[in-house]
């Protein structure tokens, strides 16, 4: 049995703490806020078993021009940031080439396809089943030609990966979602995905399970981490906390900490926003307006609208224009109702250029372990990469773990 500190109490960190605890280790979970209060708090609440291929940079000129000119609501950017992120964007672009992307997806799909099965024991043990829907989500299209192209792509994913997806015409979708006010050209129903009515509460529920089972949570500053003669130490509200081994599960802040120990981790931070609306419209499942870059998820706080990606400085103030544009766009589909009064939330998705999370032992520190860089899918993949990490820390190896390990990916960490 080892003494292990896990830094970061989002979905990835909490899941890592639980997986290591189940192996008999003495685990301390550390965060500067409560569990599930950062990126795991504000996502659309999808556990995406259908997300078998990671998001690539599109290669077609029409889509790229829509990004560059600001016509697309999927991505917005601050031009002043482009020089700073140019190198990581170029690496991401190269990995988005079809042949390279297929190779990455061969690994990524094996993670996504496990996701719901790996969440299920934690959902059951934490008593959070009331937050989970197993009805998938609908992706709606306003333009018939765009829908036809998306349906063909969905058929490819079904053929290659066994994804459960059904194309629905306008009448069939209207029958399934009578609350939607206007007809759409068509919809794709993605049935493998589970969705959550409160992602932050689910993460906190997993953390409560961890502490009920004897785990320790402390309010501490991960960036105070230092190496000691016997292992590692951080400063906390309870004083110094020490452990023999440490896991970095800090999501977008992972590179900041590792820089102090001589590592460089190129990362692209994609900011996302959400807002809640007191909508009278009943939806049986979340609905994504594919052509307006917005997702509508029924949650315990109201109808949550969640955005695509904003490429801005991490310290930039809130600028929720994607959320506002998305809300205006979907107002003809559903009655949104009034905006719930709340502090404007935003978070940052930690995207690595090769689109895979870093999971395993740091190259030059044998008792320093990594589990971050999940991009858009930390909420989905947290329990899965936690199990892979626990295996690696116990000396077990397989080809999937090797593909994610820092030692195999010098471009991702050096």
pLDDT digits (tens, 9 = 90+) for 178-207: 999 999 999 999 999 999 999 999 999 999
Candidates 172, 202, 196, 189; CA nearest to 136 is: 189
CA atoms within 13 A on the CB side of 289: 28
At residue 286, the pLDDT reads: 98
Q: What is the pLDDT, as a whole number, of residue 261?
A: 97
Quick one: average pLDDT of 64-89? 94
In 3-state terms the chain splits into helix, strand, coil percentages (rounded to 5) of: 40, 25, 35
pLDDT at 366 over 90: yes
| Confidence at residue 134, expressed as pLDDT on a 0 to 100 scale | 97
pLDDT score, position 40: 83
User: In the chain, pLDDT over 90 holds for what percent of residues?
Assistant: 94
The arithmetic mean of pLDDT across residues 239-249, rounded, is 96
pLDDT of residue 229: 85
In eight-state DSSP terms, residue 355 is: S
pLDDT band at 214 (very low <50, low <70, confident <90, very high): very high
Interval 54-71 mean pLDDT: 92
Q: What is the 3-state secondary structure (H, E, C) of 278-327?
A: CCCCCCCCCEEECCCCEEEEEECCEEEEEECEEECCCCCCCCCHHHHHHH
Residue 36 pLDDT = 81
SS3 350: strand
1-56+96-131+195-266+352-414: which CATH topology?
FAD/NAD(P)-binding domain (3.50.50)
The pLDDT value recorded for residue 39 is 83
What are the CA-CA distances from residue 327 to residues 65, 92, 265, 331, 413 (Å)? 23, 30, 35, 6, 39
The predicted-structure confidence for 254-271, as pLDDT tens digits, reads as follows: 999 999 999 999 999 999
State the pLDDT at residue 53: 98
393, pLDDT greater than 90: yes
In angstroms, the CA 158 to CA 163 distance is: 4
Arithmetic mean of pLDDT over the chain: 96
pLDDT single digits (tens) 292-335: 999 999 999 999 999 999 999 999 999 999 999 999 999 999 99
- pLDDT value at position 359? 98
Q: How confident is the model at residue 228 (pLDDT cuts 50, 70, 90)?
A: confident
DSSP 374: B
What is the reported pLDDT for 200?
A: 96
Check residue 220 and give its pLDDT: 95
**pLDDT score recorded for residue 106:** 97
Tell me, what's the pLDDT at 29?
A: 98
Please report which confidence band the pLDDT of residue 34 belongs to, taking 50, 70 and 90 as the band edges. confident
Average pLDDT over residues 42-69: 94
Over residues 2-10, the mean pLDDT reads: 96
Q: Is pLDDT at 397 greater than 90 in this prediction?
A: no
């Amino acid at each position: 049995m080892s003494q292990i500190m896990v830094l970061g109490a989002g979905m990835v960190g909490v899941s890592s703490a639980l997986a290591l605890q189940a192996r008999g280790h003495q685990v301390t979970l550390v965060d500067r806020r409560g569990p599930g209060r950062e990126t795991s708090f504000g996502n659309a609440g999808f556990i995406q078993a259908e997300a078998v291929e990671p998001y690539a940079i599109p290669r077609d000129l029409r889509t790229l021009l829509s990004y560059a000119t600001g016509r697309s609501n999927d991505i917005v950017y601050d031009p002043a940031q482009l020089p700073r992120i140019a190198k990581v964007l170029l690496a991401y672009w190269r990995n988005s080439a079809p042949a390279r992307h297929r190779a990455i997806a061969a690994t990524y799909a094996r993670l996504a396809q496990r996701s719901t099965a790996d969440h299920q024991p934690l959902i059951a043990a934490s008593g959070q089943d009331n937050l989970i829907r197993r009805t998938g989500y609908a992706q709606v299209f306003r333009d018939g030609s765009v829908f036809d192209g998306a349906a063909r792509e969905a058929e490819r994913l079904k053929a290659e990966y066994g994804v459960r997806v059904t194309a629905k015409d306008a009448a069939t979708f209207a029958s399934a979602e009578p609350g939607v006010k206007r007809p759409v050209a068509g919809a794709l129903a993605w049935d493998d995905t589970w969705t959550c009515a409160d992602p932050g509460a689910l993460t906190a529920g997993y953390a409560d399970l961890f502490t009920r089972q004897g785990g320790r949570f402390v309010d501490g500053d991960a960036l105070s981490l230092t190496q000691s003669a016997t292992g590692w130490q951080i400063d906390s509200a309870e004083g110094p906390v020490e452990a023999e081994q440490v896991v970095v599960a800090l999501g977008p802040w992972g590179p900041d900490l590792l820089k102090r120990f001589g590592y460089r981790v190129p990362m692209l931070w994609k900011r996302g926003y959400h807002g809640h609306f007191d909508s009278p419209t009943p939806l049986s499942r979340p609905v994504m307006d594919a052509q307006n870059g917005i997702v509508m998820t029924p949650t315990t706080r109201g109808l949550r609208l969640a955005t695509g990606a904003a490429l801005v400085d991490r310290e930039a103030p809130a600028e929720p224009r994607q959320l506002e544009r998305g809300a205006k766009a979907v107002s003809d589909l559903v009655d949104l109702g009034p905006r719930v009064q709340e502090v404007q939330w935003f978070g940052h998705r930690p995207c690595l250029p090769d689109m895979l999370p870093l999971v395993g032992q740091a190259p030059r520190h044998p008792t320093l372990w990594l589990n971050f860089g999940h991009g858009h899918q930390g909420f989905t993949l947290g329990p899965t990469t936690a199990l892979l990490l626990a295996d690696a820390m116990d000396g077990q190896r397989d080809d999937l773990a090797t593909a994610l390990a820092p030692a195999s990916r010098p471009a991702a960490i050096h």
